[in-house]
Structure 1
Amino acid sequence: MTSRSLRFHFIGLVVADMAASLAFYRALGLDIPAEADAAPHVEVTLPGGPLLVLDTVATVRSFDPNWTTPSGDSRAGLAFACADPAEVDRVYGELVAAGYEGHMAPWDAFWGQRYAVLHDPDGNGVDLLAPLPGAAQ
């Protein structure tokens, strides 16, 4: 196999309502300027360097006119690490109270993490996780 200089660069999401999607990701702690709400394309630098890229349906259709909204369950998911199990519970509770869809309430997963799943405004799975005390990581 030939040597390549590839590096992971971004996670892309197609969103129906940019402002609603950005509000959700702001609620998770991402620093996104308010003026981005009206943009058709937004890039947010995540800790460690990769980007979270959000494009409106119209933007995607401008270069892929045959693009259609996927049906069925989400095939992509994002995960946010929390400092501890209590933060998983707190963040999940805050976002559900703010009106976002909780998919799976926090639970102690058999693999040693406190885990919860939310849906962003477009139905993408967004996981919250933290190691359980005493769990091997």
Structure 2
Amino acid sequence: MEISAVSVSATDLRRAVAFYELLGFTFPPVEDGEQHVETAPGRGAQLMIDSVEMLTELLGEAPRPGTGSAFAVRCADPAEVDAVAARVATAGHTVLMEPWDAPWGQRYATVADPDGYAVDLYAPSSPTD
């Protein structure tokens, strides 16, 4: 078995898509009234974004971001971790943990999407990891 998709909820699909595109994801254009959008298959696990309204109807309660990371995105190298975190900050989003060199051998940062989901950014500190 393997994880094939990760899902988050969004109060505004277009705003969420714009945020995740800063991280390097690609989505089709969001149409008016759309309740669900996802990345194209083929590059690892898909990212799916569902509207809060749709999930509330399906689940019977509003979705809530957890207190831990929803998922992690592997960057090509430590410089990309820094660059993505900087793009997120420049676009006005929250960087929860500035890039740092973690003792487990990774450059690491955590950012928050517009609805509060934490996303870890990481890359091996050395090219052999």
TM over 0.5: yes
Show the counterpart of 2:28: 33
Pairwise CA distance, 1:126: 0.8
d(CA) in 2 for partners of 1:109, 1:27: 23
| Larger gyration radius, structure 1 or structure 2 | 1
Relative contact order higher in (CA < 8 Å, ≥ 6 apart): 2
Show the counterpart of 1:94: 87
Pairwise CA distance, 1:133: 2.3
Query: Deviations for 1:20-44, whole angstroms, at most 9, x for unmatched residues?
Result: 1110011111111223575111122
Pairwise CA distance, 1:57: 1.2
Query: Deviations for 1:57-82, whole angstroms, at most 9, x for unmatched residues?
Result: 111122223x13437x5344221111
1:114 aligns with 2:107: yes
Between the aligned residues of both structures, percent identity stands at 37
Cα 1:105/1:36, change in 2 over 3 Å? farther
Q: Unaligned stretches of 5+ in structure 2?
A: none
Show the counterpart of 1:57: 52
TM-score (norm 1): 0.81
d(CA) in 1 for partners of 2:117, 2:32: 19
2:27 partner SS: coil
Amino acid at match of 1:24: F
TM-score (norm 2): 0.85
Q: Unaligned stretches of 5+ in structure 1?
A: 1-5
Show the counterpart of 1:70: 64
Number of paired residues?
A: 128
1:45 partner SS: coil
Cα 1:69/1:29, change in 2 over 3 Å? same
Q: CA RMSD in A?
A: 2.1
Cα 1:55/1:89, change in 2 over 3 Å? same
